Structure 1
Amino acid sequence: MSRFMRAIRPGLSWLSLACLYLAGLGVVLMTIIIGWQVFGRYVLNDTPSWSEPLSLQLMSWFILLGAAVGVRESVHLGLDIVRHNMPPAIQRLMDLVSLGLICLFGGAMSYYGTLLAMGTWTARIPVLGWPGGIDFIPLIVGGTMISIFALERFADTFIGTAIPAADDVAQTEVV
């Protein structure tokens, strides 16, 4: 199992980096689009009608791709006060349960996102002219990435090769 994990890790690292860059690009594009919307509204007196639905589409992409990267890098929100006060074996068990639930949640996002996309594909997004199911593609892709990255962390934790997450407790320095 550890040989398999070592073999796929470069691909998963590349996938994580691609998700991160795509999320960053989405933030930049959304900022430009919203800037153009404000400029059009207040300077040109002609608000572009496509800017809001397109920026919402981009927001869905960068939020869900960023969340997936957060799962892989273990920087998602967590309440660790109980976990930190447990013995290492219980901490490991808690991590496995948490990662398993995250994986199931990502899978549910993908599954139900697919059902929603199929159910709304014949509808049209009025301003953009795109199929309505396009709105749910970020949910499908983001859920899949969350599941993949949670499975990677689950396997690492299970076989004991997990890289420990950075301690997020602030250390005060006494001068």
Structure 2
Amino acid sequence: MTADSPLVRRIEQALDWICSLCILIASVALVVLIATFGWLVFGRYVLNVTPTWVEQLALLLICYIAFLGAAAGVHQDTHIGVTLFRDMLPETAQKALLIFIDFVLAGFGAVMLVAGATLMEFGADTMLPMLNIPESVRTAAITSLGALLVLFAGTRGLLRILTFRDWAPDHSIKDY
């Protein structure tokens, strides 16, 4: 299998679409967060009635913004990393190290997925104060990040193994 095969391209397009969806959801959550804080300021200083639910909604939204953003960062390979020692290795060793890192990230995601699912089950009967929604809605963010890490990092590791001869480690500095 080559890096240019139709199957690899379709898998990468599907993952790119999922990543774009994560960014879209996180962006909408950020807009809602800003709007609710605008309402908080308006309610407090103009209406003289502070909406108490804004803090709980903000905590919920920040969980989704951070976790979906982290998943997108893993997929786009824009997360923070120290590459000095990796870059000093021969290319084959660099490739092996990148594959190892992908599977470590996927393993970490699997742990988050299982732990998040347990937290969701545990918090299903507990309601978030002021919002009256189950606590499991908040812990679903952790669970979704775990699933996305398994998907993004695990698939990238598998694709790197299948196309081992066709790709080279990226040494460019990304300006984002």
2: CA distance, partners of 1:41 / 1:93: 56
Scaled by the length of structure 1, the TM-score of the pair is 0.88
Instruction: Report the alpha carbon displacement of residue 162 of structure 1 after superposing the two structures with TM.
Output: 4.8
For residues 57-94 of structure 1, give each alpha carbon's deviation from its aligned partner in whole angstroms, at most 9, with x where no partner exists. Answer: 11111111111111111001101111111111111111
The gaps in structure 1 that reach 5 residues or longer are 171-175
> Which of 148, 165, 173 is the equivalent residue of 1:168?
173
- For residue 140 of structure 2, give the secondary structure of its aligned residue in structure 1: helix
Count of equivalent residues: 170
Seq. identity, %: 29
Amino acid at match of 1:83: R
Contact 2:95–2:169 (Cα < 8 Å) also in 1: no
Q: Residue 91 of structure 2 aligns with which residue?
A: 88
- Counterpart secondary structure, 1:149: helix
> SS of the counterpart of 2:128?
coil
Structure 1: distance between partners of 2:113 and 2:61: 18
* CA separation of 1:128 and 1:166: change in aligned 2, threshold 3 A: farther
CA distance 1:165–1:65, change in 2 (3 Å) = farther
Contact between 2:71 and 2:149, CA under 8 Å: does it hold in 1?
A: yes
Q: Give yes or no for the alignment of 1:18 onto 2:21.
A: yes
Q: CA RMSD in A?
A: 2.0
Q: Does 1:101 align with 2:114?
A: no
Contact residue 23 and residue 61 of structure 1 kept, 8 A: yes
**Secondary structure of 1:82's match?**
helix
Asked if residue 45 in structure 1 is aligned to residue 48 in structure 2, the reply is yes
Rounded to whole Å, the distance in 2 between the matches of 1:162 and 1:108 is 29
Q: Map of 1:26-65 to 2, 5 A cutoff? A: 26-65=29-68
8 A Cα contact 2:111 2:146, kept in partner = yes
